[in-house]
Structure 1
Amino acid sequence: MTLTYIAAIVALFFAMNIGASGAAASISVAYGSGAIKKRKNALIICGIAIFLGAVIGGSEVAETIGSGIIPSDLLNAQVVLIILSSAAISLFIANLLGIPLSTSEITVGSIVGVGIAQQALFIDNILVIAAFWVIVPAVGFTIAFLLGKVITRVNRKYPQLKEKKAQKILTIFVIIVGFFEAFSAGMNNVANAIGPLVGANLVSMSTGILLGGICIAVGAMFLGGNVLQTNAKKITRFSLLEGVTISGTGSILVIIASIFGLPVPLTQVTSTAIMGIGVAKKGKNTVNKRVISKIVKVWVVSPVVSLVISYGLMKLFVDKDIYTVIVLLSVSAATFGILSLVKTIQQDKRSYYENGEGI
């Protein structure tokens, strides 16, 4: 029973961090385009919308997370605690760094790590989910790019859209569409926190979604500021009409995925849509490449990191296999050492060529 309570606490902590991360993806367009002037107001709107999305439409994805990746009979309080702890650690670090991160990826990665340790995975389902992690952001980029080209022509043909009256209408529309994007985030992401609990029958679906929705909303309002700032201000600048395109693209794609029970990366959909708009406007040079590179690296690494953490915790606490844990730690230390050594060598080379000096 103690493990059950601890797992529930970790799930709620994870849900708060999901809200913090989801805030960037779901309301950053309305904030970044200037439709919502104050960051505080943007986060409050985001929190309300995420809660409603979780309560109204979060059950389908929760079912997938709870029983569609590994057999639900493998789940107990200890295993659920390992899954949630692995995912929460990965997401918390990303939030501290202000990087928008896909909670779907790290949660699925954590569950897959458990499945590998237990040698029980629904491979076909995992491949479908992973495929949509690529397909949905790619579709988001394409739609935003094409609509961005259309917007450019519309702005040239109808300059009156820049008048104050038209801008007021667009501002309201951007906020409404942003609200629905945050709503879609609640639908898709609440499952990441409460799905394992539901799969293990530690909590009912209705109770889990209600508590998870509350914690996600709280996390969005109080912890989402850094990630919101990163996604809204540091990638590229966009107008109100472009903001409608970005938010509309993200919300429609994620709501459709949620209806079919697919956990998809809303953060990636929004970020790639922002990139698509930027490229359509002024070419690839309009996007801040350093920020994009940093985000993409985290996207790639995060599911692997959570997988390794959950696999290691399973071997340590369930299988009592300390030797495997030692191997994992050794590989991790060697990897960091190699990366550090490569960085040092590159710095030495730059110093050599810039200063004309050797060692």
Structure 2
Amino acid sequence: MVSTLVLVGIAVAAFVGYNIGGSSTGVAFGPAVGSRIVRKTTAAGLFTIFAFAGAWTVGRNVIDTMSDGIVPAAQFSPTASVGVLFFTGLALLVSNIYGVPASTSMTAVGAIVGLGLATGTLNAELMFTIVSAWIVAPLIGFAIGGVIGRYLYPHLDARLSFGRMRDPLLRVDRSGTIPRPGLNENAAPRDLVGAALVLVIACYMGFSAGASNAANAVAPLVGNGSITMGQGILLAVGAIGLGGFTIARRTLATVGDDITDLPILAALIVSLVGATIITVLSQLGIPASLAVSTTCCIIGLGWGRASRTATIVELANPKPRDDSGTDLTTGSLTASPAAEESPGPTVGDLATGAAEAPTEAPDDVAVPEIGAEAPEEVSAESLFDPAATARIVTLWVLSPVLSVVGSYLLFAFLL
């Protein structure tokens, strides 16, 4: 007979997965829903499918690491599993209260580390590898974003345009007995290509989210043998999908505060880079945060865009800034290649209907050389509010630390 603690553990795991689905669906499909490529229900369905694909394939490596790598599987008693999952769910609750996308992976690992420290069974060598990846991955995201922002983004922005489709890209014909999916017949070929690109990257984000997050919900239960690997993946993805179809609708409706002010081109770039970093780490069995890597890529992209006002020599030998000097900030990504051009639509513009699909392909736009752009052309409005950024980074660091401390105290003195 299944014990009460196992049932409690399954319920807590489902709660964690439910909250993961609520937040991750909006992050992955916000641009697609905001630009009316797909409806919210379609987005939730696609996210669930690709999250399952990621969890069933690459995600198994992460589950192995968290269920029998950081600490031996024997340490995950029913009581310990509930305790670890409790701290993971608590982190999600705190992050939702403060409106900050918490690193569920880092917090879940922190709870397991607390258990390992309290029982003296922590795999220090593996934890060194994991923590090193947590440091290196955001730096890689920042570096890639910086290179793209400085050398490629202006050219892409000059040649690509994204608008808001009047009707969803995917439609369902319900005139017959069996509903038949199909493409929007009224969409222009250019719109179809752009919409397909947005949709493919959103599905890739879903795959990456499933690969990295399924373990956060079920690793302790898999470790103690309460459920098998396959059952754990089905439980995690089922709960994630339920969150995507329910509480994620609000996130999709507002398209997320952290992505609303980004041009859709920038949103696609950072989504692609962030998802790739996390997919690679998941293949290596390393749990890592998609939100952290993506945000660092955004910062790098903004810095790279702003740094185009100076050459490499000028960056290496900065001079005191005067009224005509270059101001290197985490500049705006909304500035266009030419000062007189209007910036591309942001995800927020598309969601509110402030921007419509372009009727013609843009003419070739001359992109100024590096060092030739005036600061006012690229540093309009700061990409990040320093106070908000400081709060986000503080909670990213504080959440796993509190998880470690709380878990250690729980298992060392109470259990």
State the TM bucket, normalised to the shorter chain: 0.7 to 0.9
Residue aligning to 1:104: 105
> Are residue 303 (structure 1) and residue 400 (structure 2) matched?
yes
> Are residue 55 (structure 1) and residue 56 (structure 2) matched?
yes
CA distance in 1, matches of 2:193, 2:200: 11
Superposed CA offset, 1:9-37 (max 9, x none): 111111112223333543345456x3657
Aligned-pair CA distance for 1:138: 1.6
> Are residue 170 (structure 1) and residue 194 (structure 2) matched?
yes
Change (3 A) 1:47 1:278: farther
Paired amino acid for 2:243? G
Give the counterpart of 1:19 among 17, 21, 29: 21
Residue aligning to 1:317: 414
Give the counterpart of 2:204 among 180, 183, 204: 180
CA distance in 2, matches of 1:81, 1:162: 46
Aligned-pair CA distance for 1:40: 6.1
Aligned-pair CA distance for 1:187: 0.9
Aligned-pair CA distance for 1:92: 1.9
Aligned-pair CA distance for 1:312: 2.3
CA distance in 2, matches of 1:48, 1:92: 26
CA distance in 1, matches of 2:282, 2:264: 27
Residue aligning to 1:334: none
Question: SS of the residue aligned with 2:246?
Answer: helix
CA distance in 2, matches of 1:235, 1:294: 17
CA distance in 2, matches of 1:111, 1:78: 13
CA distance in 2, matches of 1:93, 1:226: 18
> Are residue 139 (structure 1) and residue 145 (structure 2) matched?
no
Could you tell me whether the CA contact under 8 Å between 2:48 and 2:241 is conserved in 1? Answer: yes
Pairing of 1:269-284 with structure 2 (within 5 A) = 269-282=293-306, 283-284=329-330
Question: SS of the residue aligned with 1:128?
Answer: helix
When the two chains are superposed, the root-mean-square deviation of aligned CA atoms in Å is 2.6
CA distance in 2, matches of 1:228, 1:137: 25
Give the counterpart of 2:230 among 185, 206, 211: 206
Comparing 243-252 with 78-87, which one deviates more in the overlay? 243-252
Q: How many residues align?
A: 315
Question: SS of the residue aligned with 1:305?
Answer: helix
Change (3 A) 1:47 1:202: same
Paired amino acid for 1:121? L
> Are residue 252 (structure 1) and residue 254 (structure 2) matched?
no
Could you tell me whether the CA contact under 8 Å between 1:148 and 1:281 is conserved in 2? Answer: yes
CA distance in 2, matches of 1:239, 1:35: 15
Pairing of 1:311-350 with structure 2 (within 5 A) = 311-318=408-415
Give the counterpart of 2:247 among 187, 201, 223: 223
Residue aligning to 2:221: 197
Q: Which runs of 5+ in 2 are unaligned?
A: 164-187, 307-328, 332-381
Residue aligning to 2:383: 287
Aligned-pair CA distance for 1:227: 6.0
Pairing of 1:43-122 with structure 2 (within 5 A) = 43-122=44-123
Paired amino acid for 1:207? Q
Change (3 A) 1:253 1:234: closer
Larger Cα-atom Rg: 2
Aligned-pair CA distance for 1:95: 2.3
CA distance in 2, matches of 1:29, 1:139: 24
Give the share of equivalent positions with the same residue, in percent: 30
Could you tell me whether the CA contact under 8 Å between 2:142 and 2:299 is conserved in 1? Answer: yes
Could you tell me whether the CA contact under 8 Å between 2:33 and 2:40 is conserved in 1? Answer: yes
Q: Which runs of 5+ in 1 are unaligned?
A: 319-359
Aligned-pair CA distance for 1:145: 2.3
Superposed CA offset, 1:163-220 (max 9, x none): 9864552232012111111111101110111111111111110111111111012223
Change (3 A) 1:125 1:29: farther
Higher helix share: 1
CA distance in 2, matches of 1:230, 1:148: 26
Aligned-pair CA distance for 1:146: 1.5
Question: SS of the residue aligned with 1:262?
Answer: coil
Change (3 A) 1:31 1:124: farther
CA distance in 1, matches of 2:33, 2:226: 38
TM-score with structure 2 setting the length: 0.69
Residue aligning to 1:349: none
Residue aligning to 1:152: 154
Change (3 A) 1:298 1:129: same
Paired amino acid for 2:21? G
Question: SS of the residue aligned with 1:212?
Answer: helix
Could you tell me whether the CA contact under 8 Å between 2:52 and 2:233 is conserved in 1? Answer: no
Paired amino acid for 1:304? V
Could you tell me whether the CA contact under 8 Å between 2:71 and 2:112 is conserved in 1? Answer: yes
Superposed CA offset, 1:287-345 (max 9, x none): 22233222111101010111122122213431xxxxxxxxxxxxxxxxxxxxxxxxxxx
CA distance in 1, matches of 2:257, 2:273: 19
